[in-house]
Amino acid sequence: MKNNSLSIVIPAHNEEDNISIIVDNIISSLIGINYDYYILFIDDGSTDFTLKKLKEISSVNSLVKYISLSRNFGHQNALKAGLDFVNTDIVIMMDADMQHPPSLLIDLIRGHEMGFNIVNTLRKDNYNVSFFKRLTSKWFYIVINKMAEIEIDPGSADFRLIDNKVLAVLKGLDETEFFYRGLIKWVGFSQTTIDYYPNSRFSGVSKYSLNKMLKFAIGGILAFSNKPLYFAAYLGLFFSVTSLFYVPYIFYAFITGKEVDGWASIVASIAFFGGIILLILGIIGLYISRIFDQGKKRPNYIIKENN
């Protein structure tokens, strides 16, 4: 029995061919550490043989545990399931596809031993990351940092170490839509960051389609910012003030008897303002839908089985 404990939380959705390689790599990079540790996989509703692989490995290797969710709840909810389950001095979360190099685990732990509560990682872009991913990721962080009220480092991912103080705070949060990159900044504590070059995905394909990334980005902005609501309000104010300039023209047209002219401009302005009203209603609607979801208080995940 060692003095300290560590858990490694890994969400996995259809990662059947990555499980054994990541387990082997983690174990060999942690040889000799002064921590009792285990690896916890969260099978996030996989439709391939991920769960079967997890059962096989965990039956022969006591370092491997798993939770299997009743369906696909998404990466952030799978992380939440993992964090709720573990109870160790430190926790490391990482992806299952080997893009987050297991060789970095030791550096993360060293960061914690230097006194940091949170050790973040920052991805340095290289050609192991597709052009599409680099482009969308760059814009993701530009937009989110402009809109949200917290600053997130471009290239941060859900690859980090947290200690039990931070774990307790994260466990206590009750949000419908978790956005850990933002929450980690928001919790504070002492944080440091380690740079790394990602590997290419070992097997399988990325689970983040453009549509999923877009939803993830909008979710992140809505969870951390009221700016879109201010934008809507300012836009409304701007157009109400500008429309006042139209009043003298109305008088002029009335006095000179030209009031029937201007059909095109009326139709154009109706279409224009109709569009803006719908946009603003849409923005408000997005926030209301979050309140609606939060009000229902459904759990973020449902556990089907675990070992």
49, 202, 208, 231: which one contacts ligand UDP (CB under 6 A)?
Answer: 208
- Specify the residue, 16 or 95, whose C-beta has the smaller distance to Mg ion: 95
Q: How far is the CB of 146 from ligand UDP (least distance, A)?
A: 21
- Specify the residue, 95 or 158, whose C-beta has the smaller distance to Mg ion: 95
Q: How far apart are CA 69 and CA 302, in angstroms?
A: 6
Q: Does the protein bind ligand UDP through residue 97 (CB under 6 A)?
A: yes
- Specify the residue, 42 or 222, whose C-beta has the smaller distance to Mg ion: 42
Q: Does the protein bind ligand UDP through residue 4 (CB under 6 A)?
A: no
Pairing label, strands 90-93, 160-163: antiparallel
Q: Does the protein bind ligand UDP through residue 220 (CB under 6 A)?
A: no
Q: How far apart are CA 151 and CA 86, in angstroms?
A: 28
DSSP 12: E
Q: Are 6 and 161 in contact (CB under 8 A)?
A: no
- Specify the residue, 75 or 112, whose C-beta has the smaller distance to ligand UDP: 75
Nearest CA to 93 out of 184, 165, 15, 18 is that of 184
CB environment 72-100: b (16+ within 10 A), e (fewer): bbbbbbbbbbbbebbebbbbbbbbbbbbb
Q: Does the protein bind ligand UDP through residue 11 (CB under 6 A)?
A: yes
Q: Does the protein bind ligand UDP through residue 44 (CB under 6 A)?
A: yes
For 51, counting Cβ atoms within 10 Å of its Cβ (0-12 exposed, 13-18 middle, 19+ buried), the class is: buried
Q: Does the protein bind ligand UDP through residue 112 (CB under 6 A)?
A: no
75, 80, 123, 185: which one contacts ligand UDP (CB under 6 A)?
Answer: 75
- Specify the residue, 69 or 162, whose C-beta has the smaller distance to ligand UDP: 69
Would you tell me which residues interact with ligand UDP (CB under 6 A)?
A: 11-13, 15, 44, 72, 74-75, 78, 95-97, 99, 206-208
